[in-house]
Structure 1
């Protein structure tokens, strides 16, 4: 096919006719395409699927990571081993498009691959690669690893996504009305556009919208402005010009702050995150308004349709049978990895997502006396599965993962799994009776894993963060830890409070309901399935982007 004067290869719904180019470092579209690490990618992947279903006039730009994020393997003692394996994709199409981007005052060749919408039923996705023989080895490595730990490589990745992505849009002749940055990784595109539109920042501003996912300042990327300049980040502008244009006063180039100053509108990813973001960035002048569009996940891809069918038919016996089957099937994976045979009739808690300090994977095991009592309870037996990928250089998170591996060796009913990608994610959501989520409030911007868990008959049990305040009606469609005065508590007090509440709700509400009033439990699970289907399907989110962010 020709990529000259590119148009999306399906009939566009006139409600979504505005042309949008969407930039993201990662996309979790389907398991075989391993170019994602966590929630940002899962969100972008669901967005692409729903944009395709709604026939939106949107193209998407990412990077083809040669080694993906990383492959999670095990050392001899079962602890985490980080491995890297080349990924090969016969289903991607070579566009024939090649162009050069300046990185470190040096022209780097960029090759463009294409994921056809029909392959995985997703909006068009273009992927940039520098892994071509015309480049020297250092330039080739720019697209080797997602979120490379080397600072210069990471800045080069940001230039490739932003400047390279904006250049690709011109190569395609797509002429979007809006450039949508999913996180600030691609804000270098604004300097390319600034030069393109004769150094008129207002021309850039009216074309730029921005989604922020990070609810604390420390988590937003900052790099030395002189390093960025040396790396050709600013498309020919001097450091003085950049400072004047961006309003930055020190030598740290704050990507998110610049995105908030260059965009005409930004969105946070839950209503609570909107409040947190407005408070956090409000002390800076000249930032754009921040609205809230709550994240969502694609129901058609993630939900177990059979379970929904049984719910709609009102056939409780068959609903129970289907959930038991889903658990049994997932437990084959647990047995395969750990040699532990879990029982589909036993209450199962799953904690599975990216390992990061604030997400507190091991919170339940903070008090080992209570943990042992819970694990060995014969009246209300329990099984726990942990899974997730820490960032490969986040040693505290890796230590937490390894601690749980060692802990699990002492119990038949506790398991820690590796390989937490899209397929295992879906299976573990089907395995869960209870999907546990306990981040420190308000550090989880959205936390979308619980949405897809509810789509598979798992009951959410969470601290009151991210999307949860918009969803959980305690005891009706899930369970939530009541908020404390977290702002005036020390982190140890916060962790103790949340852990105590988790145990209280588990021991007094959740376990007795599951084992003694299963009809009530089933109804709670069904209520969650019903409430999540429309309110937190990515179709609603993709529609709101057009209605609220793109207008």
Structure 2
């Protein structure tokens, strides 16, 4: 398939490997396949991007369906005083192919035009991707805006976005004359497609035969819920009457739970780590007629994330070379620190990084909760440290934005503390390369998987983490990472903070400065342990073996 033309019906552009013949369409609200294509916000997108790269590498018969967000998620700019400010700017991509496919779906009481663009697999070495947009001729300003910003804060628009992904994605496949054997919903955003499929196939069994579902949500309250009448008005159920919707989706009252509907109409589902599988099965155990929930642990694509010099040193078991390369990579990261913050960091100093989406349960600012203890650590000239924060809060999450800005204002007091903006794939890569310690502080069981620590470990950074998500399957305290004990009782925040400070003061910092042999041994263990199990090639294989 060339860049210029698009012929129907759709034919997969590369011949699939015989192990992966089954045709799959993977629906996701976000994909982070490259820094240049800004259609992602955080972990879900990073995960989907890595998955699509492994699909390409393994020649699997899978295509992705997503959304073309006109303003992306948002650009993380700064106000006059340097604190963060969300900015929304139009993005243009000459590498996407206009398929010329246009069709209408009913959304918000209007017939809305949907246009489809195509990312050929050779552009970024990913699965073929189809991206949908309502920003096209024939739509008024209100309906064009559905595909402006990922995760719109207005609930009507957010649901409309899910409908374009779900119903629009299912309609796109009909336009392409492409009938996959498996519809894979990555999170419940595209669940509206299931009702479109039910209208088409008339039987729950026929829908279930085709649908699988991945949940990323580790607690009941985190699952998206809306009033069923509100959804019906928007056109969410493709014209099915509410009696039928309730009957097939497991919904008993007027509260429509998107994840429960996806679980009720899938033949199989999965959590995204071993712990998350257990948490999910427990969470949904009162619902009898739902899909079996297995687990497939998230992973990241090491071909994309790994520094080639670090990797050759790992294979050669050359710890000195790893340490030398690490210093070079720190210098590269520190140019960005100097550019954004006007601070000169030293590559010989232990560098701790906290970088991922800012959200309350991830507790980004735990390191400064005990400010006196933090100050003492930051002012220690014998065993100095440098700390960097980065990450995007949701643009309307005032609490998380306040936390980000509080850290930024605190950083004025320390020449060895930096808070960076613009946390996307490129900055994420720099931070993984340039960190010695990757700090991860979620409330235990709240992080379904978390994958940023995987790519940090691939690049010779040691995880310092609470015992949650993927860490439970990877971490051996003192051998390949530093683990905090699981806090119990009433004040887990205070316990976790005390344990974090204790671990840094008594173990992490002294090991770096007084026992480099031990440190390098841990780094090599960590790089080896993350290499196979947490590479997305393993994950993409498991999706075919266990889910499809």
TM-score, length-scaled by structure 2: 0.98
Q: Show the 5 A alignment for 1:224-263.
A: 224-263=227-266
For 1:82, what is the secondary structure of its paired residue?
strand
Cα displacement (A) at 1:192:
0.5
For 2:532, what is the secondary structure of its paired residue?
helix
Corresponding residue to 1:160 among 164, 169, 179: 164
* Kept in 1: contact 2:213–2:263 (CA 8 A): yes
Give, in whole Å, the separation in 1 of the partners of 2:196 and 2:218: 28
Corresponding residue to 2:211 among 208, 213, 225: 208
Cα displacement (A) at 1:257:
0.6
Instruction: Name 1:356's counterpart in structure 2.
Output: 359
Instruction: Name 1:446's counterpart in structure 2.
Output: 449
Deviations 1:292-323 (A, max 9, x none): 00000000000111111122234333322211
Instruction: Name 2:104's counterpart in structure 1.
Output: 100
Tell whether 2:180 aligns with 1:173. Answer: no
Instruction: Name 2:58's counterpart in structure 1.
Output: 54
For 1:389, what is the secondary structure of its paired residue?
coil
Instruction: Name 1:545's counterpart in structure 2.
Output: 543
* Kept in 1: contact 2:248–2:265 (CA 8 A): no
Tell whether 2:399 aligns with 1:396. Answer: yes
Give, in whole Å, the separation in 2 of the partners of 1:19 and 1:82: 39
Cα displacement (A) at 1:510:
1.0
Corresponding residue to 2:133 among 129, 136, 140: 129
Q: Show the 5 A alignment for 1:84-483.
A: 84-197=88-201, 199-483=202-486
Give, in whole Å, the separation in 2 of the partners of 1:326 and 1:496: 34
Deviations 1:461-496 (A, max 9, x none): 1000000010011111111112233xxx23xx1011
User: What is the RMSD of the two structures over their aligned residues, measured on CA atoms?
Assistant: 0.9
Deviations 1:214-249 (A, max 9, x none): 001111111111111001110111223212222312
Cα displacement (A) at 1:44:
0.3
Cα displacement (A) at 1:512:
1.1
Corresponding residue to 1:36 among 37, 40, 47: 40
Deviations 1:95-124 (A, max 9, x none): 111111111232111110000000000000
How many residue pairs get matched?
544
Deviations 1:135-164 (A, max 9, x none): 111110010000001111111111100000
Give, in whole Å, the separation in 1 of the partners of 2:6 and 2:344: 53
Instruction: Name 1:524's counterpart in structure 2.
Output: 522
Tell whether 2:499 aligns with 1:495. Answer: no
For 1:295, what is the secondary structure of its paired residue?
coil
For 2:60, what is the secondary structure of its paired residue?
coil
Cα displacement (A) at 1:283:
1.7
Give, in whole Å, the separation in 2 of the partners of 1:315 and 1:178: 45
Give, in whole Å, the separation in 2 of the partners of 1:208 and 1:316: 47
Tell whether 2:502 aligns with 1:504. Answer: yes
Instruction: Name 2:22's counterpart in structure 1.
Output: 18
Give, in whole Å, the separation in 2 of the partners of 1:195 and 1:523: 59
TM-score, length-scaled by structure 1: 0.98
Give, in whole Å, the separation in 2 of the partners of 1:10 and 1:183: 27
For 1:290, what is the secondary structure of its paired residue?
strand
Name which of structure 1's ranges 501-510 and 58-67 shifts more when overlaid on structure 2: 501-510
Gaps of 5+ in 1: none
Cα displacement (A) at 1:170:
1.4
For 1:96, what is the secondary structure of its paired residue?
strand
For 1:326, what is the secondary structure of its paired residue?
helix
For 1:535, what is the secondary structure of its paired residue?
coil
Give, in whole Å, the separation in 2 of the partners of 1:112 and 1:96: 7
For 1:34, what is the secondary structure of its paired residue?
coil
